[in-house]
């Protein structure tokens, strides 16, 4: 199998009580007030430089074209002409430092979108085989199971083969003619629609039908060839010629059975002989065979962290609606056309597929409800619920502030899943933090590049691609050859999981394999196969080699906090321990790590070297141990100085991070992401075809097949630099 490194990965964020017991400085606690300078704290400034290793793309985005242009200003040096230089916003620099500090201190995830609802995933064949049609009554929290003929006839033997084949629980109502299936005389699409269109305000329609069992080569299904009118006197209406059917007649009939037709194609489209996709020829009719006992299942109520199956059902529909591509050219189904009507009537009864289990007394329980024809299910837990269980969710209260919150500030996160949540009446608490970044200015280098170009497609990370975001609670991969898991087990408690922090490991070939005309990594530029509507245009950018300088002002930092801040500003620290013993083969050869700025990180853009400037540290202690040593307190009391004028230490080596903290898994992972990989393997995403192969599962168990289910490599430990295998296209066996 070919091997690569994943362009997108995750750094473990481990904040369990057991973990934090070994790292007390990382525990949550309320910060000191900003007007209080404790005795053993430090204040001052840090001057540092930022040098672009690869081009930086950021700035203004044109509303009409989406083109990106770097912000600029003009400067005039004495005796020289006016020139245009790039502006690097201080907020971007602070964000870069904040992100790095979060990672090395295993802080809470401070930037967190609205992920309070469970995400959805496409179900695999093994899970689909367990689906049972049901008539759902939300007000009663009950599902009536519509199992068709399964009490009497769950499977049938072919005439020419002793192997039984399964019988579908639902009957098939064709809405379009086929090569061998023609409408009966007098029948057409509009007449058929009159018989099956749901009544006003309902999503289903009760019908009575005649059907016969047909073998399609893989399974048997009940083919409806006649319906009965709902008016008196009742009349039988032939739909199709029952003797000209697609498939083998298995000599089984159903006469005047009662069921529910549930249209997934919009009725107006059916009347025009249109469908949601070309191969879709019919709809499902869910029923229980006459004289069969009615079987029900209980739908459990939801909690704040575990929504009920009914709530998750509507989450799936809402997600399906959000992700609908109106430009794809296909006919939208009923969930798209009638979304407002469907989503506003959440208490009305409806038909759906159900996944069932049994409780200790043998009573059936509904674990999930799946919209018909959508084929998607919701994960058991939302990203926010997983984050809360592992204590990495954004802080809501002062006493929950993690190290990065206390240093860089925070605004309380609003959890809308709380039963007492009220966005208008719940005031947001906030904390300014003790760090500010100022005086960001161009220092050296070529500055702005203005060659108009297009980048490779930049797609937003999809949280439902769980392999890229989740780890086990110990930071290891969830799926491995020794511990395979089903797709439905992601975002759940089996196995116990934690959210990782997204990172884009450095591609050290990015500054070696460059386009000579633009200076961009070749992997970042649009290829012939990329279309303009998915490739962002760049009108101006910061050239590689450009150098900025900036200043950090800090107040009342502990020795531990200042040590970590200085540690981040030494690029030689950003190298994994196992790598320091080796000589790199990258060009040019170096033993330093890099941080990231701007967009295009998976494409090798935005790589910057951040370095403490010579004599860049100015630190003064709040209260000195020795009365003769100047301190901030003594300067104020004696009127000899103030914040910014007193410096007792300028040597950064006086501030060292404790060794046990440097050995933590998240620090190792951060170092690997900053250094990248020094080998010949590509750093990239899977292609669409490779991703399809990676999602393959066993038909019976739902577990990944051999070679599939590959997750990004673990960034820490002895194998942190190892590549991952690319799933190869399977060879079809000739029969």
Q: Are 451 and 517 contacting, i.e. CB atoms less than 8 angstroms apart?
A: yes
- In 3D space, the residue among 701, 731, 686, 735 whose CA is nearest the CA of residue 9 turns out to be 686
Mean pLDDT of 649-661: 92
Q: How confident is the model at residue 394 (pLDDT cuts 50, 70, 90)?
A: very high
Does residue 589 register a pLDDT over 70? no
Mean pLDDT of 400-416: 89
Q: What pLDDT is attached to residue 552?
A: 96
Tell me how far apart the alpha carbons of residues 698 and 710 are, in angstroms, rounded to a whole number.
Answer: 15
Q: What pLDDT is attached to residue 427?
A: 47
Tell me how far apart the alpha carbons of residues 497 and 10 are, in angstroms, rounded to a whole number.
Answer: 13
For the chain, give the mean pLDDT: 86
Q: What pLDDT is attached to residue 292?
A: 87
pLDDT tens readout for residues 597-619: 999 999 999 999 999 999 999 98
Between 591 and 365, whose confidence is greater?
365
Span of 194-198, 282-286, 333-337 with lowest mean pLDDT: 333-337
Q: Are 402 and 26 contacting, i.e. CB atoms less than 8 angstroms apart?
A: yes
Q: How confident is the model at residue 376 (pLDDT cuts 50, 70, 90)?
A: confident
pLDDT tens readout for residues 3-19: 999 999 999 999 988 88
Q: What pLDDT is attached to residue 135?
A: 92
Does residue 669 register a pLDDT over 70? yes
- In 3D space, the residue among 509, 520, 510, 514 whose CA is nearest the CA of residue 451 turns out to be 520
Percentage of the chain lying above the pLDDT 70 cut: 90
Number of other CB atoms surrounding residue 357 within 10 Å:
12
C-alpha distances out from residue 472 to 120, 480, 491, 665, 673, Å: 20, 11, 11, 13, 19
Q: What pLDDT is attached to residue 735?
A: 38
Q: Are 364 and 296 contacting, i.e. CB atoms less than 8 angstroms apart?
A: yes
Q: How confident is the model at residue 622 (pLDDT cuts 50, 70, 90)?
A: confident
Calculated CA dihedral for residues 374, 376, 378, 384, nearest 10 degrees = -100
Q: Is 374 helix (H, G, I), strand (E, B) or coil?
A: coil
pTM of the model: 0.85
C-alpha distances out from residue 44 to 3, 22, 407, 408, Å: 48, 30, 14, 15
Does residue 324 register a pLDDT over 70? no
Does residue 734 register a pLDDT over 60? no
Between 540 and 201, whose confidence is greater?
540
Q: Are 24 and 661 contacting, i.e. CB atoms less than 8 angstroms apart?
A: no
Does residue 588 register a pLDDT over 60? no
For residue 542, the cross-strand partners are 56, 448
pLDDT tens readout for residues 427-485: 458 888 999 999 899 988 878 998 899 999 887 767 667 788 899 999 999 998 788 99
Q: In terms of DSSP H, where are the helices of 468-518?
A: none
| DSSP class of 247 | S
Percentage of the chain lying above the pLDDT 90 cut: 46
Measured distance between the N- and C-terminal CA atoms of the chain, rounded to whole angstroms: 25
Q: What pLDDT is attached to residue 602?
A: 92
Q: What pLDDT is attached to residue 276?
A: 66
283 sits in which H/E element: strand 282-287
User: Two tokens at 496?
Assistant: 């116990």
Mean pLDDT of 368-394: 88
Does residue 26 register a pLDDT over 90? yes
pLDDT tens readout for residues 33-60: 888 888 889 999 999 999 999 999 999 9
Buried b (16+ CB within 10 A) or exposed e, 586-620: beeebebbbbbbbbbbbbbbbbbbbbbeeebbbbb
Q: Is 138 helix (H, G, I), strand (E, B) or coil?
A: helix
Span of 71-85, 597-611, 692-706 with lowest mean pLDDT: 71-85
Mean pLDDT of 573-588: 72
Q: What pLDDT is attached to residue 404?
A: 96
Q: Are 143 and 137 contacting, i.e. CB atoms less than 8 angstroms apart?
A: yes
Domain positions in the chain: 3-117+437-695, 120-147+293-378, 148-291
Q: How confident is the model at residue 425 (pLDDT cuts 50, 70, 90)?
A: very low
- In 3D space, the residue among 15, 9, 1, 43 whose CA is nearest the CA of residue 561 turns out to be 43
Between 387 and 635, whose confidence is greater?
387
User: Two tokens at 257?
Assistant: 């059975």
Between 570 and 200, whose confidence is greater?
570
Tell me how far apart the alpha carbons of residues 157 and 161 are, in angstroms, rounded to a whole number.
Answer: 7
């Amino acid at each position: 199998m070919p091997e690569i490194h994943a362009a997108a990965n995750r750094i473990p964020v481990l904040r369990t009580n057991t973990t934090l017991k070994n790292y007390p400085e990382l525990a949550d606690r309320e910060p000191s007030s900003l007007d209080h300078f404790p005795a053993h704290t430090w204040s001052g400034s840090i001057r540092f430089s930022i040098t672009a290793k690869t081009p930086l793309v950021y700035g203004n985005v044109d509303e009409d074209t989406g083109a990106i242009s770097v912000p600029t200003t003009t400067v005039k040096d004495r005796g020289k002409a006016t020139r245009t230089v790039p502006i690097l916003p201080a907020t971007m620099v602070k964000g870069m430092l904040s992100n790095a500090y979060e990672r090395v201190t295993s802080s809470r995830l401070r930037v967190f979108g609205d992920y309070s609802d469970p995400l959805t995933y496409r179900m695999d064949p093994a899970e689909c085989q367990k689906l049972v049609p049901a008539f759902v009554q939300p007000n009663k929290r009950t599902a009536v199971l519509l199992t068709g003929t399964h009490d009497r006839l769950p499977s049938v033997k072919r005439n020419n083969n002793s192997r039984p084949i399964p019988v579908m629980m639902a009957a098939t109502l064709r809405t379009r003619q086929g090569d061998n299936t023609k409408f009966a005389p007098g029948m057409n699409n509009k007449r058929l629609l009159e018989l099956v269109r749901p009544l006003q305000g309902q999503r289903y329609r009760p019908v009575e039908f005649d059907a016969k069992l047909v073998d399609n080569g893989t399974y048997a299904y009940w083919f409806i060839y006649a319906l009965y009118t709902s008016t008196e006197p009742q009349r039988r209406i032939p739909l199709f010629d029952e003797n000209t059917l697609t498939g083998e007649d298995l000599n089984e009939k159903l006469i005047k059975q009662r069921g529910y037709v549930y249209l997934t194609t919009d009725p107006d489209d059916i009347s025009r002989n249109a469908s949601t996709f070309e191969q879709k020829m019919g709809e499902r009719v869910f029923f229980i065979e006459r004289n069969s006992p009615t079987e029900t299942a209980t739908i459990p109520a939801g909690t704040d962290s575990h929504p009920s199956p009914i709530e998750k059902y509507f989450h799936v529909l809402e997600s399906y609606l959000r992700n609908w591509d109106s430009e794809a050219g296909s006919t939208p189904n009923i969930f798209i056309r009638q979304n407002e009507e469907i989503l506003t009537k959440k208490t009305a009864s409806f038909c759906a597929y159900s996944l069932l289990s049994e409780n200790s007394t043998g009573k059936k329980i509904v674990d999930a409800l799946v919209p018909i024809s959508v084929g998607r299910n919701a994960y058991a837990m939302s990203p926010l619920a997983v984050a809360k269980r592992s204590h990495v969710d954004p802080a809501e209260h002062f006493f929950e502030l993690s190290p990065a919150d206390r240093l860089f500030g925070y605004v309380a996160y609003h959890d809308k899943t709380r039963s007492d949540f009220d966005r208008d009446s719940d005031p947001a608490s906030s904390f300014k933090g003790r760090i500010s970044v100022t005086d960001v200015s161009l220092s050296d280098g070529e500055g702005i590049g203005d060659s108009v170009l297009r980048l490779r497609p930049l797609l937003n990370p999809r949280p439902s691609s769980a392999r890229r975001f989740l780890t086990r609670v110990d930071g290891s991969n969830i799926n491995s050859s020794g511990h395979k898991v089903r797709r439905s087990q992601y975002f759940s408690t089996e196995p116990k999981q934690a959210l990782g922090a997204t990172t884009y490991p450095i591609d050290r070939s990015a500054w070696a394999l460059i386009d000579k005309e633009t200076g961009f990594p070749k992997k970042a530029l649009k290829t012939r196969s990329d279309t303009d509507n998915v490739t962002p245009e760049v009108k101006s950018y910061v050239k590689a080699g450009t150098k900025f300088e900036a200043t950090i002002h800090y107040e009342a930092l502990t020795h531990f906090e200042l040590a970590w801040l200085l540690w981040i500003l030494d690029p030689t620290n950003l190298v994994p321990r196992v790598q320091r013993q080796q000589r790199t083969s990258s060009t040019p050869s170096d033993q330093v790590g890099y941080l990231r700025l701007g967009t295009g990180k998976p494409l090798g853009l935005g790589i910057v070297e951040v370095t403490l400037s010579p004599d860049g540290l100015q630190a003064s202690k709040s209260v000195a141990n020795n009365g003769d040593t100047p301190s901030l307190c003594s300067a104020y009391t004696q009127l000899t100085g103030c914040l910014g004028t007193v410096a007792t230490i300028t040597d950064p080596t006086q501030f060292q991070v404790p060794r046990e903290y440097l050995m933590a898994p998240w620090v190792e992972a951060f170092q690997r992401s900053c250094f990248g990989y020094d080998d010949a393997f590509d750093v990239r995403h899977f292609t669409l075809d490779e991703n399809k192969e990676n999602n393959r599962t066993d038909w019976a168990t739902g577990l990944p097949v051999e070679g599939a289910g590959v997750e990004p490599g673990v960034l820490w430990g002895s194998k942190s630099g190892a590549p991952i295998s690319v799933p190869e296209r399977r060879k079809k066996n000739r029969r």
